[in-house]
Amino acid sequence: MTTSDKTKEKPLWLSIEENFLELDLQDLSGENREAAIQRIAGKLDNAGYNVSHHGGNLLQLRWAMDDMQKVGRPLMKDLSDAIAALSLEDVADQYIATGKLINDLAETWHELKKSERRPDVIQMVEKAKLDLLINKAKGLPDDEGIRFLIGEKVADEVITNALSITEEKLGEVHTLIKEEKAELARVATLLEAVEGKSNEEKVKHLLENNVSENLIIEMAKVDQGVIDGAKQAMEAALKEQQRLAEEAAARKKEEAAGPSLDNIPPDKMLEYIESIREIMEFSDEEKEIRVMCDQSAIPKCLVDIAVSEPDRLDELEKKAEG
């Protein structure tokens, strides 16, 4: 086949069939048929194909018209109708879909089974698949359409044009998808660490590592009830930890405060009072007194008396002396 650079992307047989769509088959008898052939040959010449002066190409045109008149309609009508009837499920594998389409149509159009025509039909099926994907994407909410086309490995340029979005918007979705994939990998690693353990232990491990509940359900293969149970158990454990911590803090505070007045032995009472007086000779600032008394491990009850009722120290001293 001889073509110009302009027509290399579309084969002659396809251009012939597309021109046939403009014909009225009832007017193709006698001289009208030959006139139609010459008219189409001229149009193809003008489009960059060499038909009028190329015996093989002109024969191809005549044979294609013979087939059309035998069937009573153009091949492109049947081919277009068949492609328009395809669903996304039909074109999941475009090569299988192409093979089935060609086999179905070849019962009427034998020439369609020629190996050189198969790539052209595959292109048509691929275009139909892309159109179906875009139509589905346009019906999805929010960014789901963008995600859908990315998942189907549609080229970025096609996505931005088809959905009328900016490259920046597409880049944002790409980034989110990348982050989500990284999170999936992280959760998979977390699950490996608890492989063989109960669902409750797995869920607890994932919750402790800030995994979302939806992702836990998806990757740990558990239902919401298991998650709720694990959260309740974790809340109970946390409350117990808080209780123990509060008790420990209270004990520490009590230990730091020292014994109450009634529990201080007389000899220790005298020793503490003497130390307090020495400290008060050094400073009369309450803050400094408290710091130095704390450093000397003097019970808090005595320190409080020293800074608020210092005269009472004499009374306590006499009582301790008996």
Contacts of 21 (CB under 8 A, 6+ apart): 74, 76, 77
User: Is residue 114 classed as helix, strand or coil in its secondary structure?
Assistant: coil
Is residue 110 a contact partner of residue 120, using CB atoms and an 8 Å limit? no
- Token code pair at residue 262: 């009634």
Is residue 109 a contact partner of residue 67, using CB atoms and an 8 Å limit? yes
Place of tokens 């420990």: 248
Is residue 289 a contact partner of residue 283, using CB atoms and an 8 Å limit? yes
pLDDT tens for the 322 residues of the chain, in order: 333 334 347 899 999 999 999 998 887 877 889 999 999 999 999 999 999 999 999 999 999 999 999 999 999 999 999 999 999 999 999 999 999 999 999 999 999 999 999 999 999 999 999 999 999 999 999 999 999 999 999 999 999 999 999 999 999 999 999 999 999 999 999 999 999 999 999 999 999 999 999 999 999 999 999 999 888 988 888 888 888 888 888 777 766 666 777 888 888 888 888 998 898 888 888 899 889 988 888 888 888 888 888 888 888 888 888 7
Is residue 173 a contact partner of residue 198, using CB atoms and an 8 Å limit? no
Distance CA 159, CA 150 (A): 8
Distance CA 260, CA 254 (A): 10
Half-sphere exposure of 213 (CA within 13 A, CB side): 9
Question: 3 has which bridge partners?
Answer: 49
Q: What is the DSSP letter of 49?
A: B
CA angle at 112 for the pair 119 and 114, rounded to the nearest 5°? 65
> Each residue of 94-131: b (16+ CB within 10 Å) or e?
beebbeebbeebeeebeebeeeebeeebbebbeebbbe
Is residue 303 a contact partner of residue 286, using CB atoms and an 8 Å limit? no
- Token code pair at residue 175: 């980034």
- Token code pair at residue 16: 């012939």
> Each residue of 54-88: b (16+ CB within 10 Å) or e?
beebbebbeebbebbeeeeebbbebbbebbeebee
Place of tokens 């193809």: 44
- Token code pair at residue 283: 């400073």
Question: What angle, 0 to 180 degrees and rounded to 10, lies between the N-to-C axes of helices 75-84 and 55-71?
Answer: 70
Question: What angle, 0 to 180 degrees and rounded to 10, lies between the N-to-C axes of helices 144-151 and 156-163?
Answer: 150
Domain residue ranges in the chain: 5-139, 179-256, 258-321
What is the reported pLDDT for 1? 33
Distance CA 53, CA 207 (A): 78
What is the reported pLDDT for 5? 36
Place of tokens 């004990």: 251
Is residue 150 a contact partner of residue 123, using CB atoms and an 8 Å limit? no
What is the reported pLDDT for 256? 63
Q: Write down the pTM of the prediction.
A: 0.66
Place of tokens 């063989």: 196
- Token code pair at residue 301: 């009850």
What is the reported pLDDT for 257? 61
